[in-house]
Amino acid sequence: MKQFDVLVLGAGMVGIATGLQLLARGRSVALVDRRGPAEETSYGNAGLIQAEAVMPYAFPRDLRVILGVLAGRRTDARLAWRALRHTAPWLIAYARAGSPAAVMATAQANLPLVREAVPAHRALSQRAKAEHFWHETGYLRLYRDTARLERAIAENAAVRERFDIPFEVLDRAALAACEPHLTAPMVGAVHMTSPARIDDPGGLGKAYAALFQAEGGTFVDGDAMGLEATAGGGFRLAATEGEVSAREAVVALGPWSGDLLRRFGVRVPLGVKRGYHRHYKPKGNAVLNHLVAEDDTGVVLTPNWRGIRMTTGAEFARRDDPPSPVQLTKMEPLARALFPLGDPVEPVPWMGARPCLPDMLPAIGPVPGVDGLHVNFGHHHLGFTLGPATGRLLAETMVGEAPFTDPAPYRVTRFGRLR
């Protein structure tokens, strides 16, 4: 049996970064996954390190948006009606956490994590020699309507005033200068200047995983659901190459985290927002320089080494239901009207599931009643962004260092009793 100080369960961005932060603090760490590193949601996202994402993706308060989702008219969100009896409890909790006061509390708790996102990623990328993935160009929110652009400017100005999130406004001419191949008539754009774009998010995750192994970490091929508590304290797990054990364990399994916690009698209100992407070749000599998100249609396009990646918003369905890429089907003609897309690169779209807690904050810290068990999951749309930051925070609390921010807002007990 191989013994370690910590078993980190899940080799997505959150798990890899947590393992690296623990290694840096002198712990021996095994990273456990039944697949290779960064092959789930850490691969399939839009590739932004979102230094601006203080305001959460809250439940909408606009009745027109809600009715549009219910009627199946929108591309940015879709409700799978057949799954509603399973997803309704979480959706109700999500709606309750969407009040203006609750959203502002989430934003305040997001702030220290978001501020740490780019510096934490940069430090890992430098050590991993992975800075070639970076493009520090921010992203563009596109607008066809002057009134909507002015409203967006006012909203972003209020966020800048409160949280110091920078942005610039591009008029029609400035937008055409930086994105000359857009084909839809836009009146302007809001340029969010602080995020970094990664042109291969899965590649960056794999570079961090290689760094983890180079710095002494061990990758273990195994099913994390086999984790067991031992009679004398600690945990063990039967892996492909033999049993491993450790004094402590970290659940960083993203949308599967709740499954493992239930094995220990712990229940958390974890839901999912499923999402899809597909890559397309650009037509002719067309070039896209930034990630662009169109406000009116919900289209999101980003340059990726595989082509132009088109990503969807949220699909509210059960995690393991068969794929239903309706949003991509509706979005494709809108995207083709925005930018000259050619043929798809892959035969079928990719699908993943974002792990979401109702208040759109991650769960970070110890699990009461299960000695030695810790969690780092529930990052919703920001797992790729926040993995290194929340990994640092958890590692600091596990080894007894002064944490860089108060961990209380992220405690797993904030939703009430777990059993």
The CATH number that applies at residue 54 is 3.50.50.60
Question: 141, 142, 136: which is closest to 198 by C-alpha?
Answer: 136
Percentages helix, strand, coil for the chain (3-state, rounded to 5) are: 40, 25, 35
CB 383 within 8 A of CB 255: no
Tens of pLDDT, residues 162-193: 999 999 999 999 999 999 999 999 999 999 99
Look at residue 260 and tell me if it is in a domain. Answer: yes
pLDDT for position 314:
93
Look at residue 2 and tell me if it is in a domain. Answer: yes
pLDDT for position 162:
97
Say whether 51 sits in a helix, a strand or coil.
coil
Q: In the predicted model, is pLDDT for residue 71 greater than 90?
A: no
Q: In the predicted model, is pLDDT for residue 417 greater than 90?
A: no
Residue 161, both tokens: 């005033």
Distance (Å, rounded) from C-alpha 407 to C-alpha 390?
10
Identify the domain containing residue 258 by its residue range. Answer: 1-58+97-133+197-270+357-419
Under the banding of pLDDT at 50, 70 and 90, the label for residue 61 is confident
pLDDT for position 87:
96
Q: Which residue has the tokens 């904030």?
A: 414
Helical H segments across 139-264, by residue range? 146-163, 172-178, 201-214, 257-263
Residue 270, both tokens: 């974890």
Residue 79, both tokens: 């409700």
pLDDT for position 40:
82
pLDDT for position 352:
94
Question: In this structure, what are the phi and psi dihedrals at residue 206, rounded to the nearest 5 degrees?
Answer: -70, -35
pLDDT for position 419:
66
Look at residue 19 and tell me if it is in a domain. Answer: yes
User: Taking residues 299-306, what's their average pLDDT?
Assistant: 95
Question: Which amino acid does the sequence have at 413?
Answer: T
The number of residues making up the chain comes to: 419
Q: pTM for this one?
A: 0.96
pLDDT for position 74:
87
pLDDT for position 72:
85
Look at residue 394 and tell me if it is in a domain. Answer: yes
Residue of 296 and 248 predicted with greater confidence = 248
Mean pLDDT in the chain? 95
Q: Which residue has the tokens 């916690």?
A: 261
Q: In the predicted model, is pLDDT for residue 228 greater than 70?
A: yes
Say whether 29 sits in a helix, a strand or coil.
strand
Distance (Å, rounded) from C-alpha 347 to C-alpha 341?
15
User: Taking residues 225-243, what's their average pLDDT?
Assistant: 94
Non-local CB neighbours of 149 within 8 Å, separated by 6+ positions? 143, 187, 188, 189, 190
Residue 45, both tokens: 């996202």
Distance (Å, rounded) from C-alpha 244 to C-alpha 36?
18
Distance (Å, rounded) from C-alpha 57 to C-alpha 220?
34
Question: In this structure, what are the phi and psi dihedrals at residue 317, rounded to the nearest 5 degrees?
Answer: -145, 175
Residue 75, both tokens: 């591309």
pLDDT for position 139:
98
Tens of pLDDT, residues 31-51: 999 988 988 888 888 999 999
Percentage of the residues of the chain whose pLDDT score is greater than 90? 89
* Burial label, 161 (beta-carbon count in 10 A; 0-12, 13-18, 19+): exposed
Percentage of the residues of the chain whose pLDDT score is greater than 70? 100
Question: Distance of CA 389 to CAs 83, 110, 204, Å?
Answer: 34, 11, 16
Under the banding of pLDDT at 50, 70 and 90, the label for residue 274 is very high
Q: Which residue has the tokens 């088109």?
A: 310
Tens of pLDDT, residues 108-121: 999 999 999 999 99
Look at residue 410 and tell me if it is in a domain. Answer: yes
Number of domains in the chain: 1
Under the banding of pLDDT at 50, 70 and 90, the label for residue 360 is very high
Question: 85, 56, 80, 79: which is closest to 67 by C-alpha?
Answer: 79
User: Taking residues 197-201, what's their average pLDDT?
Assistant: 96
Look at residue 361 and tell me if it is in a domain. Answer: yes
